[in-house]
Homo-oligomer: A and B are copies of this chain.
Amino acid sequence: MARLTTEKLAQAARLVGASEFDVWLTFVRETFGGGDPALPLILEGGLTWQSALMVFRDGAKVAIVGNYDADPLKAAGDWDEVVPYVQGIREPLLAQLEARISKGKTPRIGVNFSTDDVKADGLSHGMFLLLEGYMKGTRFEACLASAGDLVGELRAVKTPEEVRRIRAAIAETDALFDWVDENVRIGMSEREVYDAIQERVEAKRLGYGWDPVGDPIVNSGPDSMVGHGVPSSSIRISPGHIFHIDLGVVKDGYSSDIQSCWYVPNPGETQPPEDVKSACSAVVGAIDAGSQALLPGVEGWRVDEAARSFLVAQGYPEYLHALGHQVGRVAHDGGTILGPKWERYGQTPFGRVREGEVYTLELGVDVNGRGYLGIEEMVRVSQGGVEWLTTRQTDIPLLRG
Protein backbone atom coordinates (compact mmCIF):
# COMPACT_ATOMS: atom_id res chain seq x y z
CA MET A 1 0.00 0.00 0.00
CA ALA A 2 2.84 2.44 0.70
CA ARG A 3 3.50 2.80 -2.99
CA LEU A 4 -0.06 3.92 -3.66
CA THR A 5 -0.14 6.66 -0.99
CA THR A 6 3.33 7.78 -2.09
CA GLU A 7 2.13 8.08 -5.71
CA LYS A 8 -1.00 9.95 -4.65
CA LEU A 9 0.86 12.34 -2.32
CA ALA A 10 3.30 13.18 -5.13
CA GLN A 11 0.31 13.84 -7.38
CA ALA A 12 -1.27 15.98 -4.63
CA ALA A 13 1.94 18.05 -4.31
CA ARG A 14 1.86 18.75 -8.06
CA LEU A 15 -1.82 19.75 -7.87
CA VAL A 16 -1.30 22.06 -4.86
CA GLY A 17 1.72 23.64 -6.60
CA ALA A 18 -0.45 24.39 -9.66
CA SER A 19 -3.42 25.64 -7.59
CA GLU A 20 -4.26 28.91 -5.87
CA PHE A 21 -3.86 27.31 -2.42
CA ASP A 22 -1.09 27.80 0.12
CA VAL A 23 -1.99 24.45 1.60
CA TRP A 24 -4.42 21.60 1.06
CA LEU A 25 -5.74 20.55 4.45
CA THR A 26 -7.58 17.31 5.13
CA PHE A 27 -9.17 17.65 8.58
CA VAL A 28 -10.58 14.47 10.10
CA ARG A 29 -11.35 12.61 13.34
CA GLU A 30 -12.50 9.08 14.23
CA THR A 31 -12.17 7.95 10.65
CA PHE A 32 -13.11 4.32 11.11
CA GLY A 33 -16.52 3.42 9.75
CA GLY A 34 -16.87 6.65 7.82
CA GLY A 35 -14.64 9.63 7.48
CA ASP A 36 -13.33 11.66 4.57
CA PRO A 37 -13.21 9.68 1.30
CA ALA A 38 -9.99 11.54 0.38
CA LEU A 39 -8.18 10.05 3.36
CA PRO A 40 -7.39 6.56 2.00
CA LEU A 41 -5.70 8.18 -1.01
CA ILE A 42 -3.03 9.68 1.24
CA LEU A 43 -2.99 7.51 4.34
CA GLU A 44 -3.20 3.81 5.02
CA GLY A 45 -5.24 3.08 8.15
CA GLY A 46 -7.26 5.38 10.34
CA LEU A 47 -6.98 8.29 12.75
CA THR A 48 -8.68 8.71 16.09
CA TRP A 49 -8.38 12.29 17.29
CA GLN A 50 -8.72 15.49 15.29
CA SER A 51 -6.00 15.27 12.68
CA ALA A 52 -4.68 17.71 10.07
CA LEU A 53 -2.98 16.22 7.01
CA MET A 54 -1.42 18.99 4.98
CA VAL A 55 0.32 19.33 1.63
CA PHE A 56 1.87 22.80 1.26
CA ARG A 57 2.63 24.77 -1.93
CA ASP A 58 6.33 23.89 -1.68
CA GLY A 59 5.47 20.18 -1.52
CA ALA A 60 6.04 19.79 2.23
CA LYS A 61 3.80 17.09 3.70
CA VAL A 62 2.92 17.56 7.38
CA ALA A 63 0.62 15.48 9.58
CA ILE A 64 -0.61 16.65 13.00
CA VAL A 65 -2.23 13.77 14.87
CA GLY A 66 -3.11 12.59 18.37
CA ASN A 67 -0.17 11.07 20.22
CA TYR A 68 -1.32 7.47 19.91
CA ASP A 69 -1.77 7.79 16.15
CA ALA A 70 1.73 9.10 15.42
CA ASP A 71 3.83 5.92 15.23
CA PRO A 72 2.15 4.32 12.19
CA LEU A 73 2.40 7.61 10.28
CA LYS A 74 6.09 7.91 11.09
CA ALA A 75 6.57 4.30 10.01
CA ALA A 76 4.78 4.91 6.68
CA GLY A 77 7.52 7.34 5.63
CA ASP A 78 5.19 9.44 3.47
CA TRP A 79 5.27 12.51 5.72
CA ASP A 80 8.07 15.07 6.00
CA GLU A 81 6.92 15.91 9.50
CA VAL A 82 4.60 14.07 11.91
CA VAL A 83 3.56 16.25 14.85
CA PRO A 84 1.91 14.37 17.74
CA TYR A 85 -0.19 16.23 20.29
CA VAL A 86 -1.79 15.26 23.59
CA GLN A 87 -4.28 17.91 24.57
CA GLY A 88 -5.45 19.84 21.51
CA ILE A 89 -4.71 20.37 17.84
CA ARG A 90 -5.35 24.12 17.65
CA GLU A 91 -1.91 25.26 18.78
CA PRO A 92 0.28 22.92 16.68
CA LEU A 93 -1.99 23.50 13.66
CA LEU A 94 -1.72 27.28 13.86
CA ALA A 95 2.03 27.01 14.48
CA GLN A 96 2.51 25.00 11.27
CA LEU A 97 0.37 27.34 9.19
CA GLU A 98 2.15 30.36 10.69
CA ALA A 99 5.60 28.94 9.95
CA ARG A 100 4.90 27.67 6.44
CA ILE A 101 2.58 30.23 4.85
CA SER A 102 4.22 33.53 3.86
CA LYS A 103 2.80 36.71 5.30
CA GLY A 104 2.63 38.83 2.15
CA LYS A 105 -0.96 38.10 1.11
CA THR A 106 -4.26 36.65 2.27
CA PRO A 107 -3.72 32.93 2.90
CA ARG A 108 -5.81 30.40 1.00
CA ILE A 109 -6.46 27.11 2.72
CA GLY A 110 -8.17 24.43 0.63
CA VAL A 111 -10.41 22.03 2.54
CA ASN A 112 -12.52 19.09 1.44
CA PHE A 113 -16.01 20.29 0.65
CA SER A 114 -18.06 20.37 -2.52
CA THR A 115 -21.77 20.69 -3.23
CA ASP A 116 -21.44 18.44 -6.27
CA ASP A 117 -18.61 15.98 -5.89
CA VAL A 118 -19.54 13.48 -3.17
CA LYS A 119 -16.03 12.12 -2.90
CA ALA A 120 -14.52 15.61 -2.52
CA ASP A 121 -17.02 16.49 0.23
CA GLY A 122 -15.52 14.66 3.18
CA LEU A 123 -15.36 17.56 5.65
CA SER A 124 -18.38 17.42 7.93
CA HIS A 125 -20.25 20.61 8.72
CA GLY A 126 -19.33 20.30 12.40
CA MET A 127 -15.63 19.93 11.55
CA PHE A 128 -15.87 22.95 9.24
CA LEU A 129 -17.28 25.03 12.12
CA LEU A 130 -14.57 23.73 14.44
CA LEU A 131 -11.81 24.69 12.02
CA GLU A 132 -13.34 28.13 11.51
CA GLY A 133 -13.38 28.51 15.29
CA TYR A 134 -9.69 27.58 15.64
CA MET A 135 -8.74 30.24 13.09
CA LYS A 136 -10.88 32.99 14.51
CA GLY A 137 -8.82 36.02 15.46
CA THR A 138 -5.73 34.83 13.55
CA ARG A 139 -4.57 35.85 10.10
CA PHE A 140 -6.13 32.62 8.82
CA GLU A 141 -9.66 33.68 9.78
CA ALA A 142 -12.16 33.23 6.92
CA CYS A 143 -9.46 31.73 4.66
CA LEU A 144 -11.07 28.32 4.19
CA ALA A 145 -12.09 27.59 0.60
CA SER A 146 -13.36 24.56 -1.28
CA ALA A 147 -10.58 22.31 -2.55
CA GLY A 148 -13.25 20.31 -4.34
CA ASP A 149 -11.60 20.60 -7.76
CA LEU A 150 -8.20 19.63 -6.43
CA VAL A 151 -9.51 16.64 -4.48
CA GLY A 152 -11.72 15.69 -7.42
CA GLU A 153 -8.75 15.61 -9.78
CA LEU A 154 -6.56 13.77 -7.28
CA ARG A 155 -9.20 11.07 -6.94
CA ALA A 156 -10.24 10.91 -10.57
CA VAL A 157 -6.92 10.80 -12.39
CA LYS A 158 -5.60 7.35 -11.65
CA THR A 159 -1.95 6.54 -11.03
CA PRO A 160 -0.42 3.39 -12.55
CA GLU A 161 -0.87 1.49 -9.29
CA GLU A 162 -4.54 2.47 -9.15
CA VAL A 163 -5.14 1.25 -12.72
CA ARG A 164 -3.36 -2.00 -11.88
CA ARG A 165 -5.69 -2.54 -8.93
CA ILE A 166 -8.82 -1.73 -10.95
CA ARG A 167 -7.71 -4.26 -13.59
CA ALA A 168 -7.24 -6.84 -10.85
CA ALA A 169 -10.80 -6.17 -9.59
CA ILE A 170 -12.12 -6.58 -13.14
CA ALA A 171 -10.27 -9.89 -13.51
CA GLU A 172 -11.95 -11.15 -10.34
CA THR A 173 -15.34 -10.04 -11.66
CA ASP A 174 -14.74 -11.83 -14.98
CA ALA A 175 -13.93 -14.99 -13.07
CA LEU A 176 -17.23 -14.68 -11.20
CA PHE A 177 -19.15 -14.19 -14.46
CA ASP A 178 -17.42 -17.30 -15.82
CA TRP A 179 -18.64 -19.14 -12.76
CA VAL A 180 -22.19 -17.90 -13.42
CA ASP A 181 -21.92 -19.01 -17.03
CA GLU A 182 -20.92 -22.51 -16.00
CA ASN A 183 -23.11 -23.03 -12.95
CA VAL A 184 -26.30 -21.01 -13.02
CA ARG A 185 -29.25 -23.08 -14.19
CA ILE A 186 -32.93 -22.72 -15.04
CA GLY A 187 -35.02 -22.94 -11.87
CA MET A 188 -32.61 -21.12 -9.57
CA SER A 189 -34.08 -18.05 -7.87
CA GLU A 190 -32.47 -14.61 -8.13
CA ARG A 191 -31.71 -14.88 -4.44
CA GLU A 192 -29.93 -18.23 -4.86
CA VAL A 193 -27.66 -16.72 -7.54
CA TYR A 194 -27.02 -13.66 -5.35
CA ASP A 195 -26.12 -15.88 -2.36
CA ALA A 196 -23.84 -18.08 -4.46
CA ILE A 197 -21.95 -15.08 -5.87
CA GLN A 198 -21.58 -13.46 -2.43
CA GLU A 199 -20.27 -16.72 -1.02
CA ARG A 200 -17.53 -16.68 -3.69
CA VAL A 201 -16.80 -12.97 -3.13
CA GLU A 202 -16.29 -13.63 0.56
CA ALA A 203 -14.29 -16.83 0.11
CA LYS A 204 -11.86 -14.80 -2.02
CA ARG A 205 -11.71 -12.05 0.64
CA LEU A 206 -12.96 -9.48 -1.87
CA GLY A 207 -15.03 -6.46 -0.90
CA TYR A 208 -18.13 -5.04 -2.54
CA GLY A 209 -18.34 -2.13 -4.99
CA TRP A 210 -21.56 -0.92 -3.37
CA ASP A 211 -23.83 -1.89 -0.53
CA PRO A 212 -23.86 -5.71 -0.40
CA VAL A 213 -27.62 -5.66 0.19
CA GLY A 214 -27.80 -5.08 -3.58
CA ASP A 215 -24.43 -6.31 -4.87
CA PRO A 216 -24.77 -8.25 -7.09
CA ILE A 217 -28.04 -7.08 -8.58
CA VAL A 218 -29.66 -10.17 -10.10
CA ASN A 219 -32.65 -9.88 -12.42
CA SER A 220 -34.44 -12.62 -14.28
CA GLY A 221 -37.41 -11.95 -16.54
CA PRO A 222 -40.05 -9.24 -16.73
CA ASP A 223 -41.23 -9.26 -13.10
CA SER A 224 -37.86 -8.47 -11.57
CA MET A 225 -37.19 -5.27 -9.63
CA VAL A 226 -34.64 -3.42 -11.75
CA GLY A 227 -32.34 -0.81 -10.26
CA HIS A 228 -31.09 -1.05 -6.73
CA GLY A 229 -33.61 -3.64 -5.56
CA VAL A 230 -32.93 -6.75 -3.61
CA PRO A 231 -32.96 -10.14 -5.37
CA SER A 232 -36.20 -12.10 -5.15
CA SER A 233 -36.55 -15.56 -3.63
CA SER A 234 -39.68 -16.28 -5.66
CA ILE A 235 -38.57 -15.14 -9.11
CA ARG A 236 -36.84 -18.10 -10.76
CA ILE A 237 -34.77 -18.21 -13.93
CA SER A 238 -37.14 -19.47 -16.62
CA PRO A 239 -37.05 -20.07 -20.37
CA GLY A 240 -37.69 -16.87 -22.31
CA HIS A 241 -36.09 -14.67 -19.63
CA ILE A 242 -33.29 -12.23 -20.04
CA PHE A 243 -30.98 -12.91 -17.10
CA HIS A 244 -29.00 -9.87 -15.94
CA ILE A 245 -26.29 -9.33 -13.34
CA ASP A 246 -24.67 -6.10 -12.14
CA LEU A 247 -21.63 -6.84 -10.00
CA GLY A 248 -18.84 -4.78 -8.43
CA VAL A 249 -16.07 -6.24 -6.31
CA VAL A 250 -13.22 -4.53 -4.48
CA LYS A 251 -9.69 -5.91 -4.53
CA ASP A 252 -6.84 -4.12 -2.71
CA GLY A 253 -9.10 -1.12 -2.17
CA TYR A 254 -10.22 -0.64 -5.81
CA SER A 255 -13.49 -1.56 -7.44
CA SER A 256 -15.05 -2.97 -10.58
CA ASP A 257 -18.59 -2.33 -11.82
CA ILE A 258 -19.82 -4.52 -14.69
CA GLN A 259 -23.20 -5.63 -16.02
CA SER A 260 -23.66 -8.74 -18.09
CA CYS A 261 -26.68 -10.45 -19.69
CA TRP A 262 -27.71 -13.90 -20.87
CA TYR A 263 -30.79 -15.18 -22.67
CA VAL A 264 -32.52 -18.25 -21.23
CA PRO A 265 -33.65 -20.31 -24.25
CA ASN A 266 -36.95 -22.09 -24.61
CA PRO A 267 -36.67 -25.78 -25.57
CA GLY A 268 -35.40 -25.90 -29.15
CA GLU A 269 -34.21 -22.28 -29.28
CA THR A 270 -30.59 -22.06 -30.44
CA GLN A 271 -30.26 -18.30 -30.40
CA PRO A 272 -32.01 -15.35 -28.77
CA PRO A 273 -35.17 -14.09 -30.47
CA GLU A 274 -35.01 -11.08 -32.78
CA ASP A 275 -36.33 -8.53 -30.24
CA VAL A 276 -33.51 -9.50 -27.85
CA LYS A 277 -30.89 -9.32 -30.60
CA SER A 278 -32.17 -5.91 -31.75
CA ALA A 279 -32.18 -4.57 -28.20
CA CYS A 280 -28.66 -5.87 -27.73
CA SER A 281 -27.34 -4.19 -30.83
CA ALA A 282 -29.06 -0.92 -29.86
CA VAL A 283 -27.45 -1.07 -26.41
CA VAL A 284 -24.03 -2.02 -27.77
CA GLY A 285 -24.32 0.69 -30.42
CA ALA A 286 -25.22 3.31 -27.83
CA ILE A 287 -22.20 2.30 -25.73
CA ASP A 288 -20.08 2.61 -28.90
CA ALA A 289 -21.49 6.07 -29.58
CA GLY A 290 -20.72 7.12 -26.01
CA SER A 291 -17.21 5.71 -26.12
CA GLN A 292 -16.43 7.64 -29.28
CA ALA A 293 -17.48 10.91 -27.64
CA LEU A 294 -15.42 10.20 -24.52
CA LEU A 295 -12.30 12.29 -25.03
CA PRO A 296 -10.23 14.54 -22.74
CA GLY A 297 -11.73 18.03 -22.50
CA VAL A 298 -15.31 17.06 -23.36
CA GLU A 299 -18.08 17.90 -20.87
CA GLY A 300 -19.68 14.80 -19.38
CA TRP A 301 -23.22 15.44 -20.59
CA ARG A 302 -22.10 15.39 -24.22
CA VAL A 303 -20.93 11.80 -23.84
CA ASP A 304 -24.26 10.81 -22.32
CA GLU A 305 -26.09 12.63 -25.09
CA ALA A 306 -24.21 10.75 -27.79
CA ALA A 307 -25.32 7.41 -26.36
CA ARG A 308 -28.82 8.57 -25.40
CA SER A 309 -29.65 10.05 -28.79
CA PHE A 310 -28.33 6.93 -30.55
CA LEU A 311 -30.60 4.73 -28.44
CA VAL A 312 -33.65 6.93 -28.97
CA ALA A 313 -32.97 7.04 -32.73
CA GLN A 314 -33.17 3.24 -32.66
CA GLY A 315 -36.69 3.53 -31.26
CA TYR A 316 -35.94 2.70 -27.62
CA PRO A 317 -36.89 4.84 -24.63
CA GLU A 318 -34.28 6.89 -22.77
CA TYR A 319 -32.59 5.24 -19.82
CA LEU A 320 -33.46 6.97 -16.50
CA HIS A 321 -29.89 7.31 -15.25
CA ALA A 322 -26.47 8.51 -16.38
CA LEU A 323 -24.50 6.71 -19.09
CA GLY A 324 -21.46 6.51 -16.88
CA HIS A 325 -19.81 7.33 -13.61
CA GLN A 326 -16.24 7.17 -12.43
CA VAL A 327 -14.96 4.06 -10.71
CA GLY A 328 -12.18 3.96 -8.15
CA ARG A 329 -12.19 3.02 -4.49
CA VAL A 330 -15.90 2.29 -4.83
CA ALA A 331 -18.09 1.78 -7.87
CA HIS A 332 -19.67 5.25 -7.66
CA ASP A 333 -16.51 7.22 -7.14
CA GLY A 334 -17.66 10.83 -7.51
CA GLY A 335 -16.45 13.63 -9.79
CA THR A 336 -17.62 14.29 -13.33
CA ILE A 337 -20.33 11.97 -14.54
CA LEU A 338 -21.44 11.16 -18.07
CA GLY A 339 -25.04 12.08 -17.39
CA PRO A 340 -27.90 14.28 -18.52
CA LYS A 341 -28.33 17.82 -17.18
CA TRP A 342 -30.86 16.81 -14.55
CA GLU A 343 -31.06 18.63 -11.22
CA ARG A 344 -30.25 15.46 -9.31
CA TYR A 345 -26.82 15.33 -10.94
CA GLY A 346 -26.06 18.94 -9.96
CA GLN A 347 -23.00 20.31 -11.71
CA THR A 348 -21.40 16.89 -12.22
CA PRO A 349 -22.42 16.44 -15.91
CA PHE A 350 -20.71 19.76 -16.68
CA GLY A 351 -17.26 18.60 -15.54
CA ARG A 352 -14.69 18.12 -18.26
CA VAL A 353 -13.36 14.62 -18.83
CA ARG A 354 -9.63 14.21 -18.06
CA GLU A 355 -7.05 11.81 -19.37
CA GLY A 356 -6.48 9.01 -16.88
CA GLU A 357 -10.04 8.93 -15.52
CA VAL A 358 -11.89 5.60 -15.37
CA TYR A 359 -15.60 5.50 -16.31
CA THR A 360 -18.39 3.01 -16.74
CA LEU A 361 -20.45 3.03 -19.93
CA GLU A 362 -23.79 1.44 -19.04
CA LEU A 363 -27.35 1.36 -20.18
CA GLY A 364 -30.16 -1.01 -20.86
CA VAL A 365 -33.66 -1.45 -22.25
CA ASP A 366 -36.68 -3.43 -21.16
CA VAL A 367 -37.52 -6.10 -23.69
CA ASN A 368 -41.26 -6.65 -23.49
CA GLY A 369 -42.14 -9.75 -21.54
CA ARG A 370 -38.54 -10.94 -21.38
CA GLY A 371 -36.77 -8.70 -18.90
CA TYR A 372 -34.05 -6.11 -18.64
CA LEU A 373 -31.18 -6.13 -21.11
CA GLY A 374 -28.38 -4.06 -19.59
CA ILE A 375 -24.68 -3.94 -20.41
CA GLU A 376 -21.96 -2.07 -18.52
CA GLU A 377 -18.32 -1.74 -19.55
CA MET A 378 -15.36 0.07 -17.97
CA VAL A 379 -12.94 2.32 -19.86
CA ARG A 380 -9.91 4.50 -19.18
CA VAL A 381 -9.77 7.88 -20.94
CA SER A 382 -6.69 8.59 -23.04
CA GLN A 383 -5.76 11.11 -25.73
CA GLY A 384 -6.27 8.66 -28.57
CA GLY A 385 -9.70 7.49 -27.41
CA VAL A 386 -10.87 5.11 -24.74
CA GLU A 387 -8.93 2.13 -23.51
CA TRP A 388 -11.37 -0.71 -22.78
CA LEU A 389 -10.62 -2.19 -19.36
CA THR A 390 -13.38 -4.78 -19.68
CA THR A 391 -13.68 -7.42 -22.39
CA ARG A 392 -16.68 -6.06 -24.28
CA GLN A 393 -20.00 -7.84 -24.39
CA THR A 394 -21.36 -7.43 -27.93
CA ASP A 395 -23.97 -10.17 -28.02
CA ILE A 396 -26.26 -12.07 -25.67
CA PRO A 397 -25.08 -15.61 -24.96
CA LEU A 398 -27.52 -18.38 -24.10
CA LEU A 399 -27.64 -19.43 -20.49
CA ARG A 400 -26.88 -23.12 -20.69
CA GLY A 401 -29.75 -24.73 -18.92
Chain A residues with CB under 8 Å of chain B are 29-35, 37, 44-46, 48-50, 66-69, 71-72, 75, 85-90, 113-130, 133, 146, 148, 202, 205, 210-211, 213-214, 225-230, 320-321, 329-332, 334, 342-344, 346
A88's partner among B46, B86, B202, B342 (CB-CB below 8 A) is B342
What is the CB-to-nearest-CB distance from A26 to chain B, in angstroms, rounded to a whole number? Answer: 13
- Across the interface, do A332 and B30 meet the contact criterion of CB distance under 8 Å? yes
Residue in A29, A115, A334 whose Cβ sees the most chain B Cβ within 10 Å: A115
Contacts A49-B344, A332-B48; A228 near B68 (Cβ below 8 A): yes
| A128 contact set on B, CB distance < 8 A | 125
Contacts A32-B332, A321-B68; A48 near B228 (Cβ below 8 A): yes
Chain B residue with Cβ nearest A248? B32
Task: Kindly state the separation between the CA atoms of A68 and B72 in the bound complex, as whole angstroms.
Answer: 42
| A118 contact set on B, CB distance < 8 A | 29-30
Chain B residue with Cβ nearest A66? B344
Main secondary structure of the interface of A (DSSP, over half): loop
| A202 contact set on B, CB distance < 8 A | 205
Task: Kindly state the separation between the CA atoms of A400 and B229 in the bound complex, as whole angstroms.
Answer: 52
| A116 contact set on B, CB distance < 8 A | 126
- Across the interface, do A211 and B45 meet the contact criterion of CB distance under 8 Å? yes
What is the CB-to-nearest-CB distance from A372 to chain B, in angstroms, rounded to a whole number? Answer: 12
| A69 contact set on B, CB distance < 8 A | 227-228
Task: Kindly state the separation between the CA atoms of A66 and B32 in the bound complex, as whole angstroms.
Answer: 27
- Across the interface, do A88 and B122 meet the contact criterion of CB distance under 8 Å? no
Task: Kindly state the separation between the CA atoms of A44 and B72 in the bound complex, as whole angstroms.
Answer: 34
- Across the interface, do A124 and B125 meet the contact criterion of CB distance under 8 Å? yes
- Across the interface, do A113 and B125 meet the contact criterion of CB distance under 8 Å? yes
| A71 contact set on B, CB distance < 8 A | 225, 227-230
- Across the interface, do B90 and A230 meet the contact criterion of CB distance under 8 Å? no
Q: List 19 A-B contacts (CB under 8 A).
A: A32-B210, A32-B332, A33-B329, A34-B34, A34-B37, A34-B122, A49-B344, A50-B344, A67-B227, A68-B320, A68-B321, A86-B344, A87-B342, A113-B125, A114-B126, A117-B126, A121-B124, A123-B124, A124-B124
- Across the interface, do A125 and B130 meet the contact criterion of CB distance under 8 Å? no
- Across the interface, do A45 and B75 meet the contact criterion of CB distance under 8 Å? no
- Across the interface, do A113 and B126 meet the contact criterion of CB distance under 8 Å? yes
Task: Kindly state the separation between the CA atoms of A5 and B29 in the bound complex, as whole angstroms.
Answer: 26
Chain B residue with Cβ nearest A228? B68
| A32 contact set on B, CB distance < 8 A | 210-211, 330-332
- Across the interface, do A230 and B72 meet the contact criterion of CB distance under 8 Å? yes
Task: Kindly state the separation between the CA atoms of A213 and B75 in the bound complex, as whole angstroms.
Answer: 13
A129's partner among B113, B122, B334 (CB-CB below 8 A) is B113
| A89 contact set on B, CB distance < 8 A | 343-344
What is the CB-to-nearest-CB distance from A340 to chain B, in angstroms, rounded to a whole number? Answer: 9
The 4 closest A-B pairs by CB, nearest first: A88-B343, A68-B227, A46-B211, A121-B126
| A205 contact set on B, CB distance < 8 A | 202
